[in-house]
Amino acid sequence: MNPAILVINKPVGITSHTVISKLRYLLGERQMGHCGTLDPMASGILPIMLGTAVKASEYLVDHDKRYTATVKLGISTDTQDTTGNVINVYSGELPGFERFAAAAKKFEGRIMQIPPMYSALKVGGIKLLNLAREGVTVERKPREITVYSCVPFVNGGEFCLDVKCSRGTYIRTLCSDIGDELGCGAVMSALDRTEVGGFTKADAIDFDDLNGLPREEILSRAIPIEKMFSQLPEARLQPFYDRLYSNGEKILLKKLRLRGEKGQLFRVYNDARGFYSLGEITEKDGNLYFRLKKLF
């Protein structure tokens, strides 16, 4: 199977692993993985890496994301969403939309966020959610995240947010923090991921439609892995240097027709394989070299 990305629109009520299991059955392939887990209560974009594209998972996870979240004011839970145990109910008059919108806008920009206990982050090698299920709460250090935009709107009488954010942002924590800012508490009652790494629902196949599609048609909707790296400059090496590079040799940069700085990544092509790897500029003893970073 050629390395590629299949974008699935996951519905509410199933796990990300369920999507993988279904695709393995339909495609008859084992080598695949997903990027950016979506909880059962969440829907939306779930990129599936096919074949050796799984090697690129770390790069897609690092991309910015966009979500639509529904917020319920007046309650707080231990999970910061409606699946958890209620720990407080506000008895006063709930804020209107204008106050909600003003509070939400305060969380735009670079902010510090404390990860929730119900998360896959590890402390001492143990996932926080496993500790939380045992009733154990541990101190978590705030982490810097970026909320590029947080746009409040009303949908069917419910308060919602359209959030563009960096990796590591917990939307349910954002909802909870907005509730704390308002003094009434809040939880996330629905979540839909609408974009990740440049992929949107326009690129996606609805999970519920998979059963009606033949294997060839499903694969025809797969997106070449190189689209993930379209923002990177392209590199094509002369055959002699391409062989050295492919074998893991680092090549003095000034011998190549490349320009860049230490750490710069390139999409590497050759006539036989097309796009086949990521290359990186490295430095040693004051000299710049070009070497293979990831082979697909």
Closest C-alpha to 68, from 126, 127, 155: 155
Q: How far apart are CA 112 and CA 282, in angstroms?
A: 32
Among candidate residues 39, 64, 78, 162, the one labeled active-site is 39
Cβ 286 vs Cβ 272: under 8 Å: no
Closest C-alpha to 71, from 13, 168, 12, 152: 152
Cβ 175 vs Cβ 150: under 8 Å: no
Indicate if 39 belongs to the active site: yes
Q: Which string of b and e fits 219-231 if b means at least 16 CB within 10 Å? A: beebbebbebbee
Amino acid sitting at position 196:
V
Closest C-alpha to 221, from 207, 241, 236: 207
Q: How far apart are CA 176 and CA 186, in angstroms?
A: 5
Q: How far apart are CA 81 and CA 37, in angstroms?
A: 16
Task: Give the residue numbers marked as catalytic.
Answer: 39
